Structure 1
Amino acid sequence: MQIQVLLLLSRAFLLLSGAWAGEIIGGHEAKPHSRPYMAYLQSQEGANYSGCGGFLVAENFVLTAAHCQGDSITVVLGAHNIEQREPSQQVIPVRRQIPHPQYNRETLKNDIMLLQLQRKVRRDGYVNVISLPSANQRVPPESHCSVAGWGRTHADNEWVSDTLQEVELDVVEDELCEEYHHYNATTMMCGGDPEEGKSSFQGDSGGPLVCGKTAQGLVSRGSDDGTPPAVYTRVSAFIPWIRKTMRRP
C-alpha cells in the first residue's frame, strides 16, 4: 500500500515537473492488458523521480535501458492505467540493477540493463514474459513492428498519458540513423519512417520494440521533437550477456 501511494505521488510530481516519462508519437491507446509483458518503471534519484518503460523477460527479471538507472526503482506490472490501483497490478521493488558492463552514458553505447526483482511475479492473464530473439538475429528494413509506453502523445504536450499507448512502425535502413552520433548498426536498430511521423520519444526509454511476438529492440534515444526515426538497442546482440547474467545467483 505504501509503495502504491509513493508511486502515485511520484507520478503527480512527474506531471507537474515535465520530467521524462513514457511517450508515444502518432499512436493510439492499447487494448487493456494486451501486452502483459509491459513494465512501468518508477525511478528515484535523490529527490527526483523519473519514469521509464521495460519488459518482463523472466519471472524475476525486467529488461530496460541502462540510462534508466536510479538510486532505487519500483516496477509496476499488469497495468493499463497507472493512475489507478488496478487489481491486476503487481508492484515490486527492484533488488538489483545490472547495467551492461560496457555501457557508456555519454554515447549510449550498450544502452541495456537487467533489473532483478525482489520476488518472482505471479504469471497470469495480466502479467507474463515476452520472447527474446536468437543471438545476433537481424531484423531487415521494412519489417513491421510496434512499440508501447505511457506518457505524452505529442511533442508540444507536456502532460503524460495515464493509459498505455502503442504505435506501429517499420524498421528502416541504418543510414537514416547516422545523424545520431555514435550510431552502431551492430548493437543498434533504426526504427520509424520519417514520412509517417510515428515514433517512440523521450523517456519511453527501455520499452520493447516488438516484431512479431519477439522483443527485438528496446527504446534508447530519439530526436528532440519526436520526429522519427529513433534509435533502439538491438537486443539480439546482447543475448549471451542476458542469459549469463540471469543465471547468476
Structure 2
Amino acid sequence: MENHKWTKPVCGGEIIGGHEAIPHSRPYMAFLWISVQNSESWFGDNFPFKTKTCGGFLIREDFVLTAAHCNGRAIWVTLGAHDISKQEWTQHVIPVKRAIPHPDYNDKTFANDIMLLQLHRKATLNPYVQTIRLPRKNHSVMPGKVCTVAGWGRLGVNAQTADKLQEVDLEVQNKDACLHLYILPFNNTLQICVGDPGTRKDSFMGDSGGPLVCHKVAEGINSFGKGDGTPPLVYTRISSYVPWIEKTMSQFKLQGPGGSARD
C-alpha cells in the first residue's frame, strides 16, 4: 500500500473545481451565519465576538442538519437563497431556537460531527424551500459513486467566498484513501471518504455542514479535509445516525406557522 503523509485536518467547505448551481435547484440548502466567542479578537475586549459561516440542509420544516463543529453562541439560518450577497425575495432568515450536537461529538477528533438545529418556527415550503430525504438506517454509499456537494465557500485556497451557490461532483473513495492520510482516526462505519485524489475538485473552509447528495438523498455531512484544496475529504455518514436524528426530532413538535420572507 502506498505510504501517506499524516495531515492535520481543516474544517471542510470550499468548492474548488466546480461551477455555479442553477438558481434554486437545491432548495434544501441552508446558509448558516454563526456568532462565536472570539478569545483572540483583534479588536480587544470591546469586541468579544466574531462570526463564521457554514452550510446545512433542511430535513423537516423546523429542523436543519449540519456539522457539530458549526455550533456557536447564536445561529441564523437562511433558506431559499442563491445569492447570499442580496436580500432575494425567496429568502427566509430564521433564528435557531436550539442547537443539538450529537452527545458523543469530539471537537478534537471530529468524531460524530453532526448537529440538529431546531428553528424558531417552521419554514414555509415552496419551490425555493424544500426538505431533502435522508438515507435508510445503515445504508452504505459504495466507492465509485459520484455524488454532489454544494456551498457558498471559497472558490480557491486563497480566493474569496462565493456569493452564489456553487456545486461540484465528487466520487466516493475506498476507505483506504482516508485511512492513513489524516492524523485523526478515520472510521468507515461513521464516516465517508470523498473526492478523487487525482483531481482538483474539493471543498474546504467556509461551508462545513453542507450535504453530500447522491440520487437526491443526503448521504453525508461535510466534516473536514487536508486544508490545501486537494481531496479526499471526510464526511459524516448520515445513515449511521438516522435513529438518533429521528428520536431527537420526535421530541419536539413542529413550531408555529412560517413567517414572512425576511424575519
**What TM-score, normalized to structure 2?**
0.85
CA contact (8 A) 2:12 2:205 kept: yes
- Point out the structure with the larger helix share: 1
d(CA) in 2 for partners of 1:203, 1:82: 14
Kept in 1: contact 2:12–2:233 (CA 8 A): no
Q: TM-score, normalised by structure 1?
A: 0.90
Higher gyration radius (CA) = 2
Instruction: Give the structure 1 partner of residue 244 of structure 2.
Output: 241
Tell me the equivalent position of 2:189: 186
Give the equivalent residue in structure 1 for 2:161.
160
Aligned to 1:42: 33
| Structure 1 unaligned residues grouped into runs of 5+ | 1-19
Cα distance, 1:45 vs structure 2: 1.2
Is the 1:21–1:150 Cα contact (8 Å) retained in structure 2? no
Q: Amino acid of the residue matched to residue 40 of structure 1? A: F
Residue 211 (structure 2) aligns with = 208
In structure 1, the residue matched to 2:198 is 195
* Letter paired with 2:22: K
Cα deviation per residue 1:72-130 (whole Å; 9 max; x = unaligned)? 00000000000100000000000000000000000000000000000000000000000
Please give the alpha-carbon distance, in whole angstroms, between the structure 2 residues aligned to 1:76 and 1:83.
12
Q: Percent identity?
A: 55
| Counterpart-to-counterpart distance in 2, 1:127 and 1:21 | 24
Compute the RMSD of aligned alpha carbons. 1.1
What's the offset of the Cα at 1:156?
A: 2.3
Q: Which runs of 4+ in 1 moved over 2 A?
A: none
Distance 1:86 1:237 in 2: 36
User: Unpaired runs of 5+ in structure 2?
Assistant: 1-10, 38-48, 253-263
Equivalent in the alignment of 2:125: 123
Contact 2:212 2:222 in 1 (8 A): yes
CA distance, structure 2, for counterparts of residue 160 and residue 86 of structure 1: 18
Aligned positions of 1:1-249 closer than 5 A: 22-46=13-37, 47-157=49-159, 159-178=160-179, 179-180=181-182, 181-249=184-252
Q: Secondary structure at the match of 2:170?
A: strand
Check conservation: 2:154, 2:206, Cα contact below 8 A.
Answer: no
State the SS of the aligned residue for 2:30.
strand
2:239 is paired with a residue of what secondary structure?
helix
